[in-house]
């Protein structure tokens, strides 16, 4: 019994991924959250300053908004794809 690896298996359609149909605001918000986190953590003052507090709040808001945006876009994209088929 020999396997024929030279011929690929036929696929009816490609699987969808989480980044299919994602617009730019979601990843941009995640990037903003990570860069703001880095900015807030480089505060070398020793005590909790305004930069740390503001950076932490902006980081939290940007990361949550980015994840929510990507989840909503992915759900909308999947619903559109399911409606087409």
User: Hey, how many other C-beta atoms are within 10 angstroms of the C-beta on 70?
Assistant: 19
Query: Which of 7-11, 15-19, 81-85 reaches the highest mean pLDDT?
Result: 81-85
Helix residue spans in 1-85 (DSSP H):
25-41, 50-84
Look-up: residue for tokens 């929510």?
Answer: 68
- At 21-71, the pLDDT tens digits run 667 888 999 999 999 999 888 876 667 788 888 999 999 999 999 999 989
How much is the pTM? 0.70
41: alpha, beta or left? (left if phi > 0; alpha if psi -120 to 50): alpha
d(CA 66, CA 45): 29
């Amino acid at each position: 019994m020999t396997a024929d690896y030279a011929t690929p298996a036929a696929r009816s359609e490609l699987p969808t991924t989480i980044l299919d149909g994602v617009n730019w605001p979601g990843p941009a918000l995640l990037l903003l959250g990570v860069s703001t986190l880095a900015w807030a953590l480089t505060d070398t003052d020793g005590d909790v300053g305004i930069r740390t507090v503001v950076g932490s709040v902006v980081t939290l808001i940007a990361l949550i908004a980015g994840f929510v945006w990507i989840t909503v876009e992915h759900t909308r994209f999947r619903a559109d794809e399911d409606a087409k088929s």
